[in-house]
Amino acid sequence: MLTLPNILTLLRFPLAFCFLSDSLSLRVTALILAMLSDCLDGYIARKFGFTSQIGAMLDPIADKFFTFFLLVVFFTESRISLGEVAALLSRDFAVAVFALYLGITGGWATYKLRPFWCGKLSTTLQFFVLIALTIGAVIPSYVYGIFIVLGVLALGELKLIHKRSTKSSQE
Q: What is the pLDDT of residues 26-38, one digit of tens each?
A: 999 999 999 999 9
Quote the mean pLDDT of the chain.
91
Q: In 10 A of CB 85, how many CB atoms?
A: 15
What pLDDT sits at residue 54? 87
- Report phi then psi at 64, rounded to 5: -70, -40
Give the pLDDT band of residue 62 (cuts 50, 70, 90): very high
| pLDDT score at 169 | 64
CA gap 139, 63 in Å, rounded = 21
| Residue from 137, 139, 127 nearest 67 by CA | 127
State the pLDDT confidence band at 3, using cuts at 50, 70 and 90: very high
Residue 51 pLDDT class (50, 70, 90 cuts): confident
Question: Does the predicted TM-score (pTM) go above 0.85?
Answer: yes
**pLDDT of 32:** 95
What value does the mean pLDDT take over residues 6-15?
Answer: 96
Alpha carbon separation from 94 to 35, 52, 69, 99, 149 (Å, rounded): 23, 24, 19, 9, 11
Rounded Cα–Cα distance for residues 87 and 80 (Å): 11
Which burial class, exposed, middle or buried, applies to 76 when counting CB atoms under 10 A from its CB (0-12, 13-18, 19+)? exposed
pLDDT reading at 78 higher than 80: yes
Tens of pLDDT along 113-167? Answer: 677 788 889 988 999 999 999 999 999 999 999 999 999 999 888 888 888 777 7
Which stretch of 13-22, 41-50, 114-123, 146-155 has the lowest confidence by average pLDDT? 114-123
What per-residue confidence (pLDDT) applies to 171? Answer: 60
